[in-house]
DNA sequence: TATCAATTAGTAATAGTTACTATTATTATA
DNA sequence: TATAATAATAGTAACTATTACTAATTGATA
C-alpha cells in the first residue's frame, strides 16, 4: 500500500494552488484544458483522500458544492453573495473568543465540543462600489 | 394568492414540534404513520416555503440532509457525532462576541457581513458515560 | 352552484458525489 | 530484464437529497 504520487494527483494539487477555493468541477475543468483525459471521478477521489489525510481542507458551505483549500492553517471563510468570491481571514486573533464560545456551549449543552464549522457571507467591497 | 393553511401544512408543523430538528424525510415518515398518502414533495415544498417566510428555520449542517426547526429565535446548534442528537444553545450571551467577530472579518476582508452560519459537534454527556 | 386559483400526490428530472470495473501505470522481485 | 503484484486511473453506473412538473383535488368566492 505504497502511496503513489501520480501525475493526476500533482495536477490537482497544482490546480488548487492556482484557483481560489475551487469546487471539484472547477478543478476538473481547469486540468482538462491541458490534460483532457482527466476523469472527474479521479478529481473527486483525490480531493477526498487529500482532505482526509489533512493535506488539504474541505469547505462545506450550505448547499452549494464543496470547495477545497490548499491552506490548512486555522482560518475563516467569507463569501460574497454577489460575485461568489471566497475570502480568507486569519482566525488567530479570535482564538480566545472561539474558545470561550466552545466553553459556553459545553456548559449549556453538556456536549464536549470537538469541532466547529463557521462561515460568513455578505457583499465584498468591489461589489458594493458597483451598486 | 390566498395563503391556505392546508391539513398537510398543519401536520408538518405538528411534526416539527414533536420531533427534534428533523430532516424532511423524518417529517415525512412521522406523518405517514397517521396519514400514509402524504407526499414527500409536499413535505419538501412546505418546509421550503415556511423556511423562506421565516415561520421556521432551515439548518444546513455539512453534507447531511437539511434539518428544520420550529424555534426561530437566535440560537446555536450542537450535534453529537455519536448519537446524532441536536442540542440548542441560546446565543444571547454570545451576541457581543459574535458582533466582534463580524467586525473583525469586515475589517480584514472588506466584506460587509450579512449572514453567519455556525454549528458545532462533539460527544454528548450520555454518550460519554457509555464509553 | 359555477368558477378559478391554491395545493396536492405522484413522478420525473437534476446536481453533487460516491461506487464499481476493466484497464493502465508503477513498483517490487526473481 | 522479465514477471508478478498492486496502486491508480478513466469511464460509467448508481445513489442521495432535492426540485420541477403535471394532472387531479380542494376550497374559497361570487
Ligand atoms: Mn481558505
Ligand atoms: Mn434549534
Ligand atoms: Zn463580490
Ligand atoms: Zn450522543
Q: What is the pLDDT of residues B78-119, one digit of tens each?
A: 999 999 999 999 999 999 999 999 999 999 999 999 999 999
Whether B1 and B63 share a structural domain:
yes
CA end-to-end distance (rounded Å), chain B: 55
Residues 77-116 of A with CB under 8 A from B: 78, 80-81, 87-90, 93-94, 97, 100-102, 104-106, 108-116
Model pLDDT for residues A30-83, shown as the tens digit of each residue: 999 999 999 999 999 999 999 999 999 999 999 999 999 999 999 999 999 999
DSSP secondary structure string for all residues of B4-27: ---HHHHHHHHHHHHSSS-BHHHH
Whether A65 and A87 share a structural domain:
no
Structural domains of chain A, count? 2
pTM for this structure?
0.93
Q: For residue B128, give the C-alpha cell.
A: 460519554
Say which CATH number the domain at B58 has: 1.10.10.10
Whether B14 and B27 share a structural domain:
yes
Surface-to-core class of residue A29, CB atoms within 10 Å of its CB (0-12 exposed, 13-18 middle, 19+ buried) = middle
Task: Answer with the one of B52, B70, B88 that is the final residue of a domain.
Answer: B70
What is the domain extent for residue B37? 1-70
Strands (E), chain B: 57-59, 67-69, 75-80, 86-90, 112-123
Amino acid at each position: 500500500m505504497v502511496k503513489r504520487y501520480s501525475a493526476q494527483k500533482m495536477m490537482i494539487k497544482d490546480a488548487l494552488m492556482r484557483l481560489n477555493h475551487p469546487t471539484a468541477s472547477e478543478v476538473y475543468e481547469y486540468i482538462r484544458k491541458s490534460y483532457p483525459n482527466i476523469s472527474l471521478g479521479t478529481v473527486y477521489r483525490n480531493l477526498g483522500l487529500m482532505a482526509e489525510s489533512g493535506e488539504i481542507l474541505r469547505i462545506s458551505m450550505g448547499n452549494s458544492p464543496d470547495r477545497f483549500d490548499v491552506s490548512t492553517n486555522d482560518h475563516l471563510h467569507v463569501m460574497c453573495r454577489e460575485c461568489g468570491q471566497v475570502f480568507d481571514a486569519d482566525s488567530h486573533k479570535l482564538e480566545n473568543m472561539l474558545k470561550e464560545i466552545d466553553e459556553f456551549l459545553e456548559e449549556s449543552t453538556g456536549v464536549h465540543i470537538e469541532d466547529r464549522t463557521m462561515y460568513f457571507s455578505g457583499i465584498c467591497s468591489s461589489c458594493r462600489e458597483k451598486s
